[in-house]
Amino acid sequence: MGWLGVVSSATGRRWVGLDPEQERLAEAIAQTGQPVALSRHLARRGVLPEDAAAFLEPRLRDLLPDPLTLRDMGVAADRLLAAVAGRQRIAIFADYDVDGGASAALLVVWLRELGLSATTYVPDRIDEGYGPNAPAIRNLARDHDLIVCVDCGTLSHEALAAAEDSDVIVIDHHLGGETLPPAVAVVNPNRQDETGDLAHLCAAAVVFLVLVEANRRLRVQGRTGPDLMQMLDLVALATVADVAPLIGVNRALVHQGLRVLRDRNRPGLRALADVARMDGPPTPYHLGYLLGPRINAGGRIGAADLGARLLSSVDEAEATALAERLDVLNAERRGIEARVTEQALEQAEARGGPLAWACGEGWHPGVVGIVASRLKEALNKPAVVIGIRDDGLAQGSARSVAGVDLGVAVQRIVAEGLLVKGGGHRMAAGLTVRADGIEAAMTRLGDLLKRQGAGAEGPRDLRIDATLMPGAATRDLIARLEQAGPFGQGASAPRFAFPDLRVAHARPVGDGHLKVTFTGGGPLRLDAIAFRASTTGIAEAIDRAAGAPMHVAGRLDLNRWQGREDVQLKLEDLSLTSETPSG
C-alpha cells in the first residue's frame, strides 16, 4: 500500500514513506529537539541522532580530506610551485563546460594572486571536440613551460605526447583507463588505482584540493598563499552544475560556497546573477538552473572560452559584456534544445528498451547533453542523444540514472571497437561513433546497461518524508528544513504530502505551468506551482477533479516577488481521493 493509499498517482507513481527502521530513527532524532518534519527527513538520509547537530552545520574543516590521499598530489603541487617560483609560462587547457571553466578560473585566480598570468585554452566543441588534441597541445607547448589540463586529459595519451619539452599536469575526475597518459602528474579520484572514496568530486573540487596542498607547502616555506575560502563560490558552482552528488565534502563545499556567493565579490558571477535576474539568496537551484546553463551556453553554441573568461574576469565592464553575451546565447540554446527534445523523445519512446536513445542529422552537439538529460528524466532510464555530422561521424552525449555506471559501459564498447572514442564517469559520458555504426553501438550499450538493471524499475516511486496540513507550511519550517541542505543530486529536498485538499483556484502561467491555490476546508490556504503541468498529467488531473478532494505532494519553498516572501509548494504530484484505495 502506498503512502495515504496512493498506488498510482496523476503521474503514474506510488507514494512511499519511511520504512520501519527509518520511522524508529525519526522518533529518536525528534527526541533530541528537532522538529518532526525535519527529523523524518534526516532519518531518510540515514543521519543518526548523535550526528544530527553536526549534520545541520557542515564544516569544511571536518569534512575536507587530506589532499595527499590522492595519487600524484604532491608531485602536482610541487610542479605548480616550481612554475610559480621560476616565473614560468603556464597554459591551462580546460573542458568547455561549467566544471572546466570553473577549474580553469580557480587556477587563473590563484596564479594571478601569486603574480603570474596564465593562458587559458578551451577547445571548440564542433571543430576540436572534447579534451586535448595533438595540434592544440603542440602549439601550447611551443610557448609554455607547463600545461595544466583540467576536467579532461586522463585518456588523452596521443594528444599529451605532443607536448614534447613542456611538462603536463592532468587534474581530472573522468574515469581512467588501464594506463595513464604521459604527464608529470595525473590527479584524478577516478584513476583505476585509486580507492574511489573521492570519486564523487567534480574536477573543480579536485583542483581545489591541489591548491589546498600547494598552499600548505607555501606555509611550510613561511609564505602565505591566496585565500582559497573565497574561491569556494567557483567550486560550489561547478559541483552543482556538474550534477555531482551533494554528499560528504561536496555538501560542505557547496554550503560554504553559497555563503561566499552571497557576498557578490566575483565580478563575473555578480554580472551573470544580475543578467539572470536572480532573486533572493543563492541556492543550488540558482547555480544549476540560472547560472550554470548560461555559462555552458558559450561552450555549446558560442565561443568556447566565454565561461572561463567570465569566471576569472576582474574587469566590471568586461564581466557585464560577457554575461550579456552568454545570456543571449542561452536563449538561442533553449530554442534549439526544444526542437531536438521533441524529436528525440518521440524516437526514444518508439524504440523502448533499457536505453533511451535518439539520433538526428544536424542536431547541434551543444544541446545533445541537455536533451539526453531530458530523456533520462522523462523515461527514468539511461539516455544517449547523438548528432550526425556531414563527415560520416556522429557525436553524442549520455546521461545515466542512479545505480547504473554509464562510464564503465561506454569504455567497454570503445574497447570493443563499436565507438571511435568515448569516456566519462558513472552519471555522464560523451562519445563519437561512425554514423553507420550507431544502431550496433546503441544495441550493445543497451545490453550492457540492462545487466546493471537499467530500464527495470518502471515508474519511479515518489518518496514522501511526512504528511503536513496547510497551516504547518510556514517560513519558520522552511528555514529549519534548509539546515539539512544544500539540496540537489544525491541529496533531494524534503517532500511532503498534504491530504484532502481542494482546488480553490487554478490558472495557467508561462509555458505549460500551472499556479494553484488549495484549501483544506478551513481559512488556511496553500499556494502551489506545478511546472510543466500540461505534460506531466497534473493539469489534466486537476481538470478531472472538478473540485473533488485530493492528496497533493511536493516540496516547500519561498516564492519571492516584489520584496515579498510567501510560502509556496512546488507541486510534483497529486491523487484524487476517489481513486485512492481505502483500507
Rounded to 5 degrees, φ, ψ at 553 are -140, 145
Cell 552519471: give the residue: 427
Cell 563527415: give the residue: 391
Per DSSP, helices labelled H in 352-461 are 368-379, 406-415, 438-451
* pLDDT score recorded for residue 141: 97
Architecture of the domain delimited by 352-451: Roll (3.10)
- pLDDT tens, residue by residue, 205-245: 999 999 999 999 999 999 999 999 999 999 999 999 998 99
Which grid cell is 290? 540560472
Terminal CA-CA length for the chain: 9
Residue 514 neighbours by CB distance under 10 Å: 21
Residue 34 neighbours by CB distance under 10 Å: 22
Beta strands in 115-264 (DSSP E): 118-121, 146-150, 167-171, 185-187
> CB–CB of 152/104 below 8 Å?
no
Cα distance between residue 422 and residue 444, in whole Å:
14
Which grid cell is 241? 552544475
Q: In the chain, which residues have pLDDT < 50?
A: 583
Exposed, middle or buried by CB within 10 Å (0-12, 13-18, 19+), for 479?
exposed
Q: Per residue in 128-151, is it b (16+ CB within 10 Å) or e — as a string?
A: ebbbbbeebbeebbeebbbbbbbb
* pLDDT score recorded for residue 456: 67
- pLDDT tens, residue by residue, 355-388: 999 999 989 888 999 899 999 988 889 999 999 9
Cα distance between residue 49 and residue 30, in whole Å:
8
> CB–CB of 397/408 below 8 Å?
no
Instruction: Given CATH 2.40.50.140, say whether it is the number of domain 3-17+464-579.
Output: yes
Which grid cell is 233? 563560490
Residue 220 neighbours by CB distance under 10 Å: 8
> CB–CB of 137/110 below 8 Å?
no
Nearest to 107 by CA among 125, 94, 96: 94
Q: Is the dihedral of CA 72, 78, 79, 84 positive or negative?
A: positive
Cα distance between residue 320 and residue 275, in whole Å:
8
Cα distance between residue 583 and residue 569, in whole Å:
28
Cα distance between residue 580 and residue 184, in whole Å:
63
The whole-model pTM stands at 0.87
3-state secondary structure of 365: coil
List CB contacts of 78: < 8 A, sequence separation 6 or more.
217
Number of H-type helices and E-type strands within the chain: 22, 18
R_g (Cα) of the chain, nearest Å: 24
Cα distance between residue 232 and residue 260, in whole Å:
7
Rounded to 10 deg, the angle between the 292-301 and 98-113 helix axes is 100
Which grid cell is 56? 545541520
Exposed, middle or buried by CB within 10 Å (0-12, 13-18, 19+), for 75?
middle
* pLDDT score recorded for residue 42: 96
Cell 490558472: give the residue: 507
Residue 459: C-alpha distances to residues 10, 227, 378, 409 (Å): 12, 47, 10, 24
Cα distance between residue 17 and residue 2, in whole Å:
8
Cell 597518459: give the residue: 181
- The class (CATH top level) of 63-327 is alpha beta
How many Cα atoms within 13 Å fall on the side-chain side of residue 27? 5
Q: What residue type is 169 in one-letter code? A: I
The reply to whether omega before 486 is within 30° of 0 (cis) is yes
